[in-house]
Structure 1
Amino acid sequence: MTILCPEELKTEERQKMECRNEGQEEGKKEGWTCRLIPQEDNWSNRKYGDVNDYLTQMLSGHGCFQAYLHRFKYEDSPECSMCPGIIEDAEHVFSRAPTSTAFKQKI
């Protein structure tokens, strides 16, 4: 097992992101996070903005979203309680749900 120093780990993660972007350019489905942050180098080299729990949940899609909780059998349905028939995932909560304004204010 090789232990990487923080700088080596950062470089390795950037290379993984670049490979993922190259795959998207070849026509692969683009994920939620990649649509939010199309140029990872701009994001990772930014000089401002802290990452908090809410932002991490929005970027990853792993959080208190009905669809995510339903996947692990914590909720009976993946649907949004405010929008029947619509799956409640990070994208829906952030951009389409009636309560998205309140969530955005926490970020």
Structure 2
Amino acid sequence: MALRICSAYRTISTDAVLVIAGLIPLHLAAEEKRDLYVKAEINDEVKRQQRRGRWTRKLIHNVEDWTSRKHGDVEYYITHFLSGHGVFMDFLHRIKKIPNGNCMYCDEIDDAEHTLFCCPRWENGRNKGLSCCRM
């Protein structure tokens, strides 16, 4: 359901797509109700899950703020940007849809960060204050 809500590729991590769609996984809601002994096991699982969705985590620091916002709808392009799974050459290369992951305009690795913040092709559409500084 989360994939359809935000028009995501099925390769996006479950954690990232649930955050973007503003959904809480049922297993996490149930885990919140467990007693202190079980919470120690949950902390270990959370540590493992934190390795996934790194790009989304860089952009959405506070899940509660994101899910309770009163503006902006999640849609195809926003989902691609927030997940890093979309029309970026590096991603398409990783899923073996194209032969290499370099930007067709400047030959740098074309990921979400490059496209939105660094690529000279899109410079005119950006604010003048942004620069290519890897987040």
TM range (shorter): 0.5 to 0.7
Is the contact between residue 58 and residue 90 of structure 1 (CA under 8 Å) also seen in structure 2? yes
**Structure 2 portions without partners, runs of 5+:** 1-22, 32-42, 127-135
**What is the CA-CA distance between 1:11 and the residue it aligns to?**
5.9
Distance verdict in 2 for CA 1:30–1:55, change over 3 Å: closer
Quote the sequence identity (%): 35
- Secondary structure of the 1:76 match is coil
**Structure 1 portions without partners, runs of 5+:** 1-8
Is the contact between residue 61 and residue 68 of structure 1 (CA under 8 Å) also seen in structure 2? yes
Normalising by structure 2, we get a TM-score of: 0.53
Is the contact between residue 89 and residue 111 of structure 2 (CA under 8 Å) also seen in structure 1? yes
* Aligned residue number for residue 96 of structure 2: 73
Q: How does 1:14-33 map to 2 (within 5 A)?
A: 23=47, 31-33=54-56
* Aligned residue number for residue 47 of structure 1: 70
Normalising by structure 1, we get a TM-score of: 0.65
Distance verdict in 2 for CA 1:31–1:98, change over 3 Å: same
**Which stretches of structure 1, 4 residues or longer, exceed 3 Å deviation after superposition?**
11-16, 99-104
In the alignment, the residues of structure 1 paired with residue 54 and residue 105 of structure 2 have an alpha-carbon distance, to the nearest angstrom, of: 24
Aligned residues: 89
